[in-house]
Structure 1
Amino acid sequence: MKAGSSSRRRRFLNLRAFLHAWRKLAAAQAAAGEWAHLDGGVGGEAIPKDVPRGHTVVYVGEELRRHVVRVSSLDHPLFRELLDRARDEYGFAAADARLCIPCDEDVFLAVLCHVDADRESRMALCN
């Protein structure tokens, strides 16, 4: 096994553990009806209805502005850095199950632009 592939696997497992903990917390709060405000439902659902498959919602900045991002973007090194900061700031026992990113919204949008550009360039190489 190559050294890079073990590092990549470890990052994947860390990301998977982060998402598992987040989903578990979201499911617990959905069962308690605490997500009803996100989708307008009475019983509340953990994932709002307007989020396409393969995407997730993150809340960014002091005003917690809502952004829908590709789940595949979460594995990019820059995005992982944002997730690490979120974990350090909020931990897995946050008061609500929303995935909040503690950074300036302009920085977040710049990271998304870089992640999308990097993704596009990799796709162009495969064609």
Structure 2
Amino acid sequence: MPEDKKMKAKKGWLAVRVGLEDEDGGFQRFVIPISYLYHPLLQDLLDRAHEVFGYHTTGPLRLPCSVDDFLHLRWRIEKEANNHHHHLPSSLFFNSC
């Protein structure tokens, strides 16, 4: 669920901005656990963010992905974390991510 823009990310969490320029509603802010940064699906998205935006940005980390696809990606990471013995292949990815 999108987080309030005025809220600071608590220790161990990271604010990200998700959205595509042509997407209705623009960008939305989310707060995710830092541990997600080590997941292969999010690492692929971070590589793409570097290609699109570079390393030097101000504010929350921007992810070039539709909000719907990001919500699905987050769901998959959470499902995998809750289901340690059933890993989803990281080769499955999304249209806009």
TM-score (normalised: structure 2) = 0.70
Give 1:75's aligned amino acid.
Y
- Flag structure 1 segments of 5+ consecutive residues without an equivalent: 1-37, 40-47
Aligned pair count reads: 76
Q: How does 1:16-55 map to 2 (within 5 A)?
A: 39=6, 49=8, 51-55=9-13
Give 1:89's aligned amino acid.
V
Aligned-residue identity in percent = 32
> 2:50: which partner in 1?
87
Cα distance in structure 2, aligned partners of 1:113 and 1:74: 14
Matched, 1:77 2:40: yes
Cα distance in structure 2, aligned partners of 1:108 and 1:70: 14
> 1:18: which partner in 2?
none
Q: How does 1:99-118 map to 2 (within 5 A)?
A: 99-118=61-80
- Flag structure 2 segments of 5+ consecutive residues without an equivalent: 21-25, 86-97
The structure 1 segments of at least 4 consecutive aligned residues displaced by more than 6 Å after TM superposition are none
Largest Rg, 1 or 2: 1
Cα distance in structure 1, aligned partners of 2:32 and 2:56: 22
TM-score (normalised: structure 1) = 0.54
> 1:27: which partner in 2?
none
> 2:93: which partner in 1?
none
More helix by share: 1
CA RMSD for the aligned pairs?
Answer: 1.8
